[in-house]
Structure 1
Amino acid sequence: MEGATLSKPLILPAFQAEEVHCTGRAFSSSLSAREKKLVCVTSGNSCLDSHIVKELLANGYLVRVTIQNPVDFEDIKELMKDEEINQLESVVVAKMQDLESLCDAFRGCHAIFHTSSFIDPHGVSGYSEHMAFLETEVARNVIKACSGAAYMRRCIFTSSLLASIWSDDNLDRTIDEGCWSNEEFCRENKLWLALGKTTAEKAAWGKSKELKVKLVTVCPGLLMAPSFPYAHKDTSLPYLKGGSVMLQRGILATGDVNKVADAHVRVYEAMDDGAFGRYLCFDKVVERLDEGIQLENELKRHGLRPGSVVSAEETREVHSKLCNSKLAKLLLEGSQGKSCRQ
């Protein structure tokens, strides 16, 4: 089965997870699906995606998940409980570089959540310059498929804080949603994940304007999870390339994966009420060297400590230049609105 050439997506119904069924046009945009707000989450076998799926299910959404290969379903079973998997509308094998495959997967959906084009839960492949190029090509594909198949043409696109922080001329500037990383700076310093997220997000914005897809982007810091460091080793290692510079500049920020997932859902829900543009997403800025050392120990890697440092410097605070007030305001307004409804 894995070696077969698939012209249409493979459907893995959640209630028959151990069986594999091939179909033609997999889904129809039925009225009942629209009423339940069917949404699709790409690459559901990653740590962040699985948490977004859980958050959507907990809020009563009908959720479809895509994976790149049938074997990736094993990762989903490790990341989610059986009862959560059984709540899914379906799991669809859809190649991220195959536009027709994505269109079939997105058909009838109210919105698309796209977090990453490359998922490596076991953290063995790293992130290369070539991946940065492909990440950008897939971003265009996702927006094209969203335009052609998702009936509401909405996309919640996960970028990264890395797409805003890397520049050689912003040392004293507050970094917010208006800031973009310098692509040439990223290339010169081999910051491939930062480059990939920057170019992919820009491509998504360009294509969404062209095709009239309503787009919002969430730009999280380094993801943190209870099962650290293995739950998202694939993103933590490439994210921290240049980590000592981030720490010194006060731009090294982390985000609890549960809070980041919740932010994705809240931003989506606020799109009807004016949510727009980019949202920087983090809940902690590493501002002291001892905090950086603690992060190193949790990651079981080193490189944040800038050479030999005396103990007095370990508690020296670095002034943060990051600002996520736009997201904080949206979340506050959302919680107030929810309290009023209750």
Structure 2
Amino acid sequence: MIRISIDAMGGDHGPETIIPGLAMVAERRPDIRFVIFGQEARVRPVLDAHPLVAERSEFHHCDVSVGMDDKPSQALRRGRWKSSMWRAIEAVKNGEADVCVSAGNTGALMAMSKFCLRTMADIERPAIAAIWPTMRGESVVLDVGATIGADAQQLIDFSILGAAMARAVLGLERPSIGLLNVGVEEIKGQEEVKEAGRLLRESGLTTLKYHGFVEGDDIGKGTVDVVVCEGFAGNIALKTAEGTARQIGTYLRSAMSRTLMARIGYLFAKGAFDRLREKMDVRKANGGVFLGLNGIVVKSHGGTDGEGFAAAVELGYEMVRAGLLAGIGEEMARYHGREAGRTRVEAKTANKE
């Protein structure tokens, strides 16, 4: 059984959205069990209305919930040890759950996750990775909001983390990596990005294939399996793509209902439009994975519905089944061990000279 800890108070709608999402997962995944944390007065009535979830869950009352507008520092001071968010993360640390899922405040969730789980060996900063629908299928994009600004070494770490996730989720043995840049030419971009490109070319990593620089339109094309960037640019790209998908959907609905002939045409093409709507449904790609921690935490969009939250829970489920943490640990140890060996060789050469 895969055990998933749930912060039932997170998001814009709390348990009224989260528990119905768990009901969808419970119907599709018989090998899942839930450990739910929240305020009993709000959670229990919704939980009792979904007996399958109640049957597969253990519930823990928490007095405190983290607000969506709480500052991370405030959430840590007020919510440590007591809040539903903290206790859901702590369940992973204590081995009571395999993965934590929350739709709560992103900054607070990241701060608590780092404080409780700590970063893995050789990783300075964690990243948030998202699954991105593309013309070729799906890609992994990171970082989409955890780290604002990143040096060359952090971008390399993100590349290793993203490659591990692509192997786990997309089933790719040797995923291709691209660094998001303002152009594909090697002379363009910030010095940190150019240095990361040089180091990746020289890294000798056999579990990933470095493609080079990619631009913003390459994300949707699916030019590479993993797109790597720092969190400021990644978060803007993510929100822009989500907004564009909703904008196109609004345009289509408006155009299809404008005239009688348009409505008739829609009836004939309804199957095609249904497939397009499903492909553009941002709920299907809901869930950002916090990578680089000693435990798996998945962040769901706060404003999503039950179907979207179910997608985030199932993403966490797939991470556990694929052994994501073990894969990351092995690859990071291999890379940093190689770099340490290279440094020693360079030092000996310099001493001889």
TM-score band, normalised by the shorter chain?
0.3 to 0.5
Under a length normalisation based on structure 2, what TM-score does the superposition of the two structures give?
0.35
Structure with bigger helix share is: 2
Larger Rg: 2
